[in-house]
Amino acid sequence: MQTLSENKCFDGVQGVYTHQSKATGTDMTFGLFLPAEAQDGPVPVLWYLSGLTCTHENAMVKAGAQSWAAEQGIALVFPDTSPRGEGVADDPEYDLGQGAGFYVNATQKPWAPHYNMYDYVTRDLPGLLFNEFALDPERQSIFGHSMGGHGALTMAMNLPERYRSVSAFAPLCNPAGAVWGRKQLTAYLGDDESKWSQHDASLLMAQKGFDGPVLIDIGTDDQFIEFLAPEALATAIAQRRQQATFRMQPGYDHSYFFVSSFMEDHINFHAQALYA
C-alpha cells in the first residue's frame, strides 16, 4: 500500500492510498477518512459507494461527509467505481466500463477478468483496511449514491452478517428492469437473467430483505428518476414489512447538492446502528 496524500480534516485525517488488488488485478486507489478517535483504537467503518463516472474522489470532496463522521467518530471508506488503466477494457459511453463497474464480478469478456468490483469492495479492500488501519470489522455499515446505492443495497442483502445498517441516495432500485442496469448486467454477467437477481435491490428485497434498518432518499425532481425505478423497491419494502424509511424528498435532483443535503441524516442513521 502506498500513501498518495494525507490531509488533516475535522481533527482526523483524510487519506488517499493506492494498492495492488487481487480481485481486479490492477492498482486501485481509495479514500479513507479516519476520525481523531482512531488514534485510541479501532473505530466503526461506514462504506460509501459512488455512482457512475465517479472515482474515489467525488464523494470525498463534494459530500461534506467528514464533518458528521468526525462528530460521530466513524471512519469513511471511499472506494473507486471500477478498475482503471491501460490494460483494462473500456467503453466510449459513460455508463459502461471504467467508472461504471456496477459492483458485480464480470463473467463476460472483455470485462472479465478485471471487473470484479463486488469482490474488491467486499473482500479485497476490507482485507487491506482491517490490517492497516484502526478499524473495527464488527462495526460496519454501508451506503452509496445512484449506482453506489445499488451496490450498497445489494451487498448489504447478500452479506447478511456483514453490515449493521444500509442506506442510499437515489439508488438504482431495480437494475434488472431498468435502462440503467439491463445494459450493464447483460454486458458484465451475460444474457441469462437468472444470474442478475443477486444484483437487483428490489428482487433481493422481495427474496431476502435486510436484517437491520434501511434508509432511502430520492429527490422528486431527480432527472434520472425513470432509470432508478423507486416504485419497485418501495413496493418490495412494503410487501416484505422490511424495517425501513423510504423518503421522496420534494424538489431535490440527482446531484451532490442533494446528497450533501441529507448526508448528516444518513451518517447519524448509521451511527445509531454502529453504536447500538
Task: Give catalytic residue positions.
Answer: 146, 222, 254
Amino acid at 13: V
Sign of CA dihedral 199, 204, 207, 208: positive
Regarding 57 and contact with its own copies (CB under 8 A), the answer is: no
**Binding pattern to its own copies, positions 7-46, x when CB under 8 A?**
xxxxx--x--------------------------------
Closer by beta carbon to its own copies, 56 or else 114: 56
Choose which of 4, 61, 238, 276 interacts with its own copies (CB under 8 A).
61
Closer by beta carbon to its own copies, 197 or else 260: 260
Q: What is the closest distance, in whole angstroms, from the C-beta atom of residue 33 to its own copies in the complex?
A: 9
Q: What is the closest distance, in whole angstroms, from the C-beta atom of residue 191 to its own copies in the complex?
A: 38
Show Cβ contacts of residue 82 under 8 Å, excluding neighbours closer than 6 positions. Answer: 88, 97, 98, 99, 100, 101, 115, 117
Choose which of 219, 233, 242, 271 interacts with its own copies (CB under 8 A).
219
Looking at the chain, list the stretches that DSSP marks H as alpha helix, in order from N- to C-terminal side.
57-62, 65-72, 117-119, 125-132, 147-158, 179-189, 201-207, 225-228, 230-240, 256-274
User: Among the candidate windows 89-97, 115-123, 205-213, 247-255, which touches its own copies by CB under 8 A?
Assistant: 247-255
Q: What is the closest distance, in whole angstroms, from the C-beta atom of residue 10 to its own copies in the complex?
A: 5
Regarding 253 and contact with its own copies (CB under 8 A), the answer is: yes
Q: What is the closest distance, in whole angstroms, from the C-beta atom of residue 63 to its own copies in the complex?
A: 8
Choose which of 90, 261, 265, 272 interacts with its own copies (CB under 8 A).
261
Grid cell digits, residue 276? 447500538
Are 246 and 269 spatial neighbours (Cβ–Cβ below 8 Å)? no
Are 33 and 9 spatial neighbours (Cβ–Cβ below 8 Å)? yes
- Region 79-108 residues binding its own copies, contact defined as CB under 8 A: none
From residue 88, alpha-carbon distances to 55, 91, 109, 122, 218 in Å are: 15, 10, 11, 21, 33
Helix, strand, or coil here: 138? strand
Interaxial angle between packed helices 65-72 and 256-274, expressed in degrees from 0 to 180 and rounded to the nearest 10: 10
Grid cell digits, residue 21? 488488488
Q: What is the closest distance, in whole angstroms, from the C-beta atom of residue 257 to its own copies in the complex?
A: 4
**Binding pattern to its own copies, positions 161-180, x when CB under 8 A?**
--------------------
Q: Would you tell me which residues interact with its own copies (CB under 8 A)?
A: 7-11, 14, 61-62, 64, 66-67, 219, 221, 251-253, 255-258, 260-261, 264
